[in-house]
Amino acid sequence: MFSSLSNKLSGIFSQLKKRGALTGADIDAAMREVRVALLEADVALPVARDFIASLKEKALGAEVVKSVTPAQMVVKLTSDHLTELLGSENQPINLAAAPPVVIMMLGLQGSGKTTSTGKLALRLKTKQHKKILVASLDVYRPAAQAQLEQVAKQSGIASLPVVAGEKPLQITERALKAARLEGYDVLLLDTAGRLHIDAELMDELKSVKQLANPLETFLVADSLTGQDAVNIAKAFHDQIGVTGIILTRVDGDGRGGAALSMRAVTGQPIKFIGTGERPEEFEEFHPARIASRILDMGDIVSLVEKAAENVTQAEAEQMAARMMEGQFDFNDLLGQLQKMHKMGGIGSMMNLLPGMGQIKEKLAGATFDEKALSRQEAIILSMTAQERRFPKVINGSRRARIAAGAGAQVQDVNKLLRQQQQMQDLMKKLKKMGKKGLMRGGMGGLAGLTGLK
Ligand SMILES: Nc1nc2c(ncn2[C@@H]2O[C@H](COP(=O)(O)OP(=O)(O)OP(=O)(O)O)[C@@H](O)[C@H]2O)c(=O)[nH]1
Ligand SMILES: [Mg+2]
């Protein structure tokens, strides 16, 4: 979502880097360009203006001009400033109260409230081991309550049984009671959306809030709506009082302005971001990481965390043991493919790597897309257990059968066989090299799998 801003900034800074020593005029000119880039990214005007004013003041300071690498100093200052603009530190969700802790979700129609309710519930359940109850107060849109029920069920979360004809306040009361009696740690209230902010909606939200006394009131805002999202958030905050913002569709091609202005305009922290439609596509918002993503310095920290989450120690050891034996059959390959999928595919990994912003388009080529991963998985799944274990038995007629079963071409099967063979050869070599070569081989193996070699 920040790609265009990110490209512009890296362009500005690479020009600057070429200059070596910087004059005040160089910095002035660069700051003007940064300002334009921010405005083009749909950052609110006053926010961009303040940002540039204070950044320029620092950048023009003697430190930068006299430093050995002035351009890098400017980049560093910009990164610090961006981090600050985004809210400095991650603000964790507040659950510090006697259970059941109530969390209320609000926002405009279609902003992602129901989806985010499910995502947040899943996150609190898996990461913080909380017992969660969700309840929908949306009695206006037909099937809204059923939608939340469905979303919850998908993630193994309990939802308040729907009683036809109840009003939002009645549902709230029943949900509070159920949460108390049934020993839930957290109660998430999903509310109805409206097309515009209207008095009726505000009154209803106010009375629900008064009754439920939520510890957190999250405004769910669609980042694709840019400055509108920010203005709406401000209006909600002024009238209802919110304690944090959940920014959705950060995976989309929005220009980033919403994320950048939200904190400055509303004074409230972004606590989470939605990065896709799936329940697990939801992350804590870390200002420093986002800033470094925007400046295309990569986001190594999140990458490492993501990988650690998905590959457990035991799995890693098991994988290493197989490698040490010089083994690599289709079960191993399938395991690797599935892990990549779990991590949100190669695309999402690439976004996090330094310097990838500029070559991302190239990487979006045939061997590098999600579809290819899924197709490879389908091919392996269409093999028998014996074929997966002993790929050598896969002859011409088996290849045709496997291709047909996976809805793929025989040449795709051949390609995958070659990959498996390469990996197998690599493992054999590794075995000879011993432990020392393992790391290097592992990386090379990954590259081989993705056709990068
Ligand atoms: N790509 C992407 N899609 C999202 C994200 N969050 C929500 N969506 C999609 O946005 C659509 C609307 O989401 P809902 O959760 O139903 O929105 P809502 O605010 O509850 O809508 P109403 O109840 O009608 O006001 C759904 O198709 C979601 O899958 C996100 O972070 N990324
Ligand atoms: Mg909804």
pLDDT tens per residue across span 26-74: 888 889 999 999 998 888 889 999 999 998 888 887 666 665 567 777 8
Could you tell me if the CB of 277 is within 6 A of ligand 1? yes
CATH of residue 445's domain is 1.10.260.30
Dihedral angle sign, alpha carbons of residues 120, 122, 127, 129: positive
| 373, 269: one domain | no
**Residue of higher predicted confidence among 439 and 207:** 207
Supply the range of the domain harboring residue 46.
3-85
Distance 447 CA to ligand 1 centre (A): 35
Distance 404 CA to ligand 1 centre (A): 36
**Contact between 246 and 221 (Cβ < 8 Å):** yes
Assess whether the C-beta atom of 249 lies below 6 angstroms from ligand 1.
yes
The closest residue, in CA terms, to atom 13 on ligand 1 is 112
Check: CB of residue 266 under 8 Å from CB of residue 132: no
In this structure, the chain runs to a length of 453
Global pTM reads 0.69
In this predicted structure, the answer to whether residue 352 has a pLDDT above a threshold of 60 is no
Looking at the fold, whether 230 and 358 belong to one and the same domain comes out as no
Q: Is 138 in the pocket of ligand 1 (CB under 6 A)?
A: yes
Mutate to test the pocket of ligand 1, among 1, 108, 109, 115 (most ligand atoms within 8 A of CB): 115
Q: What percent of the chain has pLDDT over 90?
A: 43
**pLDDT higher than 90, residue 191:** yes
Mean pLDDT, range 192-218, rounded to an integer: 90
Question: pLDDT confidence of 439, banded at 50, 70, 90?
Answer: very low
Task: Give pLDDT, residue 446.
Answer: 41
Torsion angle, alpha carbons of 205, 145, 342, 360, to 10: -60
Based on the fold, state whether residues 119 and 248 are members of the same structural domain: yes
**Position in ligand 1 atom list of the atom nearest CA 118:** 15
Mean pLDDT of 264-283: 93
Please count the CA atoms within 13 angstroms of the CA of 174 that sit on its side-chain side. Answer: 16
Ligand 1 near 306 CB (within 6 A): no
pLDDT tens for residues 284-300?
Answer: 999 988 888 887 654 44
Asked whether residue 20 carries a pLDDT value surpassing 80, the answer given is no
Please check whether residue 125 is in contact with residue 157, taking contact to mean a CB–CB distance below 8 angstroms: yes
Instruction: Decide if 12 contacts 59 (C-beta within 8 A).
Output: no
Same domain, 247 and 335: no
pLDDT digits (tens, 9 = 90+) for 107-164: 999 999 999 999 999 999 999 999 999 999 999 988 999 999 999 999 999 999 999 9
User: Which pLDDT band holds residue 372 (cuts at 50, 70, 90)?
Assistant: confident
Query: What is the rounded average pLDDT of the residues 220-244?
Result: 90
Average pLDDT over residues 200-219: 94
Residues 401 and 282 in one domain: no
173 and 222, same structural domain?
Answer: yes
Q: Where are the beta strands (DSSP E) in 195-288?
A: 216-222, 244-248, 270-274, 282-284
3-class secondary structure, 148: helix
Could you tell me if residue 131 is inside a domain? yes
Numbers of helices and strands, H then E, in the chain: 22, 8
Comparing C-alpha atoms, which of 179, 116, 178 is closest to residue 152?
Answer: 116
- Comparing 3-12, 215-224, 310-319, the range with the smallest average pLDDT is 310-319
3-state SS assignment for residue 105? strand
Q: Of 85, 118, 141, which residue is a domain's last? A: 85
pLDDT of residue 269: 95
**To the nearest whole number, what is the mean pLDDT of the chain?**
83
In Å, what is the CA distance from 327 to each residue of 253, 323, 333, 390, 423? 42, 6, 11, 11, 9
Q: Report the pLDDT value the prediction gives residue 365, as an integer from 0 to 100.
A: 45
- The arithmetic mean of pLDDT across residues 405-421, rounded, is 91
Ligand 2: centre distance to CA 112 (Å): 7
What burial class does residue 80 get, using C-beta atoms within 10 Å of its C-beta: 0-12 exposed, 13-18 middle, 19+ buried? middle
Residue 392 has pLDDT above 70, yes or no: yes
Q: Is the pLDDT of residue 275 over 60?
A: yes
Maximum Cα–Cα distance for the chain, whole Å? 74
Q: Show which of 35, 61, 85 is a domain's final residue.
A: 85
Find the range with the poorest average confidence among 132-146, 229-243, 437-451: 437-451
Q: Are residues 121 and 39 in the same domain?
A: no
Residue 259 has a pLDDT of 85
Would you place residue 314 in the very low, low, confident or very high pLDDT band (cuts 50, 70, 90)?
Answer: low
Ligand nearest the Cα atom of residue 154:
1
Residues sharing a CB contact under 8 Å with residue 64, sequence separation 6 or more, in sequence order: 22, 27, 58, 70, 73, 74, 77
Q: What are the CA-CA distances from residue 60 to residues 30, 64, 216, 232, 405 (Å)? A: 11, 7, 41, 36, 65
User: Ligand 1 within 6 A of 113 CB?
Assistant: yes
- Structural domains of the chain, count: 3
Residue 324 lies in a domain: yes
User: How high is the pLDDT of residue 203?
Assistant: 92
pLDDT band at 273 (very low <50, low <70, confident <90, very high): very high
**pLDDT reading at 437 higher than 50:** no
Edge-first strand listing for the sheet containing 132-136: 158-159, 132-136, 186-190, 101-106, 216-222, 244-248, 270-274, 282-284
Residues 417 and 327 in one domain: yes
Domain limit, last residue, from 26, 53, 85? 85
Q: Where are the beta strands (DSSP E) in 14-127?
A: 101-106
Mode of pairing for the β-strands spanning 282-284 and 270-274: antiparallel
